[in-house]
Amino acid sequence: MTNAEPSPSARPPSSSRDVPSDPSALGDHRAVLAALTGTTTADALAGLGLLRGLRNHLDEVERSLIEAARDGGASWSAVAEALSLASRQAAEQRWLRLAGPVAGDVRRHRVNRQRQQRIDRDYGEPVVTLRVAVRAAERVLRANHEWTSCRPVGELARATLAAAGDAPPGGLYDLARSALADLAEVVNAASGFDVPAPIRVATDRLRVAIETAAPGG
């Protein structure tokens, strides 16, 4: 079975703002490098203790980059080349491992994604753009989990966006509006310096996409 790749022109390019940026992970990385020059067993053990968290963070970064590339129109073959993998199938398997149970198996994911792309194109470019904005916003909230997790409404918005990403066009629009309302509430309630810039950018991008996709818009 062949997988028709979406045209790059069918989707706006994703921003590097979608990629997780975790200051604590950067600090852990510096601590691990410092442990390499340590002089005691305790230094080495401390460095080793930080590696699991760093691996998890890198996995999340890789997953987000793959999803951003795909939402931007990159083929699985291009993803495989960027990751120095042998085939497009290997790249799909890599993403499925990183995404975990939510992704399902390769064949089912591919069929569902192709069906969804066809339906979105039938509805028109505003729906295609809205789905990209929804998925980008969910990635940003997932990447900034420390900020989101301590704000129940923000976490609700993230979960709603996750559901919207795979919903049919009608459900996509309704769920996106609901998520935007929750997200706007938590963003407006926070002080300007308390909201990570990527979240503000994603919120604005989502708002524009929803307005463009609105019936009669």
Which residues, in sequence order, are CB contacts of 26 under 8 Å at separation 6+?
none
The pLDDT of 129-156, averaged and rounded, is: 88
Token pair for 108 = 């089912």
| pLDDT attached to residue 104 | 59
Alpha-carbon dihedral 55, 60, 64, 67, rounded to 10 degrees: 90
Using DSSP, state whether 70 is helix, strand or coil: helix
pLDDT at 169 exceeding the cut of 80 = yes
Length of the chain (residues): 217
Band the pLDDT of 217: cuts 50, 70, 90.
low
DSSP per residue, 123-182: H-HHHHHHHHHHHHHHHHHHHTHHHHHT-HHHHHHHHHHHHHTTS-HHHHHHHHHHHHHH
Higher pLDDT: 108 or 159? It is 159
Q: Which of 29-38, 120-129, 198-207 has the lowest mean pLDDT?
A: 29-38
Band the pLDDT of 16: cuts 50, 70, 90.
very low
Band the pLDDT of 180: cuts 50, 70, 90.
very high
Token pair for 63 = 């997953």
